[in-house]
Chains A and B, each alone.
Chain A
Amino acid sequence: MKVSYFPGCTLKTKAKDLDAYARKCAEILGITLEEIENWQCCGGVFTTARDEIATKLSSVRALNDAKEKNQALVSVCSACHNVLKQTNYAMQTDEEFASRANNYMQLDEAYLGETQVLHYLELLRDVVGFDKVAEKVVNPLKGKKIAAYYGCLLLRPNSVMKMDDPENPTIIEDLIRALGAEAVIYPYRNECCGGYVALENPDSAKEKSLKVTNSAKNAEADIILTACPLCKYNLEKNGADIPVVYFTELMAEAFGIKEDCNA
């Protein structure tokens, strides 16, 4: 099966490993990630103001590319996924925004939010199925206690993301279990790490990140698992004394291909 793939800027630079593992694991699961040609940065955050058109056009372009190929659009980075999904939702529901965006785009056929936007995790759950993921595990991560960290971007706003229960999510935990490890539930798993404010106000980000890592440690986790490069940065930077790992890396480990990826 082929899907369109939007890696995003961070996966091409600071988070190359997140990207590499994602591609290899997809191969194993029989999914081809076809990188969109000439994609542009999504902008990192979705601007909710309805009159912001230009900043959302790169997303619309990517979405339309996927539409033309009749494929779902998959991303791994939480931020990209959030921006793509919110933009797509705006194209579906906000007529004025859609018509103005289409005016800029000058497409043969107007884009009205037809593309299905999937996070890599949703791809695993809804298209591949966690049972199929479990079948591919050669190196079950028995005995590892893993704390899933969702942050905010994956789940909220729920009316748009519709990924999981925003207050009590299970999608990453289900993946952890499929990989043979033990999922640790802890209170701060869907609280914000401090996000981009880290740049301006590192102390604020530190406080928030520490709350998350301490909460995971109190729940006796060995590893924190995340999908977002910025979450990983904030948690690690602010004194996490437990490893913070991308979920794709953990998959690669369980699939026994981690070394291939690093090569």
Chain B
Amino acid sequence: MRKEIENLQNEIIRISGVNPRKCMRCGKCSGTCPAYDEMEYHPHQFVSMVESGDIEPLLNSKSLYQCLTCFACVDRCPRGVEPAKLIEAVRLAAVRKQGQNHMTANDIPEKLDEDIPQQALVSALRKYSK
């Protein structure tokens, strides 16, 4: 089990290119995050939880799908940690598992309104499914 978590942790760190150990716990990422209120785990928690290997709760959290990828945290982090990239990697770790897509093409019609631009659909599918 320990080994499994370690592998997952290494995988997340590798594909995100983020070194969570550089974080100095200042919380600037969360201070600036527009999706903060919708998130159960906030950007700074993603960083410290990945660092400590506490990844399971993240994988099961809806917070994964609330990140807007607006990169505010990436730009403002004083240590160059880039939390958004880490969140993306955790999300991929979740949706890449068989049958774990957060949204599929079948879910879309009911959510659709006629003015919504294509770009929102492709973005959401890309973010939420594999």
Is A–B contact present in the complex under a CB 8 A cutoff? yes
| Nearest CB of chain A from residue B101's CB, rounded to whole Å | 13
B117 in contact with A200 (CB, 8 Å):
no
9-residue interface stretch from A21-29, A141-149, A190-198: A190-198
B1 within 8 A of A: no
9-residue interface stretch from B20-28, B50-58, B82-90: B82-90
Known contacts A156-B71, A199-B120, A204-B35; A48/B84 CB under 8 A: yes
B4 within 8 A of A: no
B119 in contact with A156 (CB, 8 Å):
no
How many residues of chain B are within 8 Å of chain A by beta carbon? 40
From the candidates A48, A51, A229, name the one contacting B85 in the complex (CB within 8 A): A48
B88 in contact with A10 (CB, 8 Å):
no
Residues of chain B contacted by A41 (CB below 8 angstroms): 118, 122
A239 within 8 A of B: no
Residues of chain A contacted by B17 (CB below 8 angstroms): 48, 50
B15 within 8 A of A: yes
Interface residues in A141-195 (C-beta closer than 8 Å to B):
151-153, 156-159, 166, 191-192, 194-195
How many residues of chain A are within 8 Å of chain B by beta carbon? 46
Distance of A191 Cα from B68 Cα, bound (Å):
11
| Nearest CB of chain A from residue B12's CB, rounded to whole Å | 9
Minimal Cβ-Cβ distance residue in B for A41: B122
Distance of A41 Cα from B123 Cα, bound (Å):
10
Q: Which residues of A come within 8 Å of B, CB atoms?
A: 8-10, 13-15, 41, 43-52, 55, 77, 79, 151-153, 156-159, 166, 191-192, 194-201, 204, 207-208, 229-230, 233, 236-237
A-B contact pairs, 25 of them (CB 8 A): A9-B119, A10-B118, A13-B118, A14-B116, A41-B122, A43-B126, A44-B120, A45-B127, A46-B69, A48-B88, A50-B14, A156-B70, A156-B71, A191-B70, A192-B34, A196-B120, A196-B123, A197-B65, A199-B116, A199-B120, A201-B38, A204-B66, A207-B37, A230-B123, A233-B115
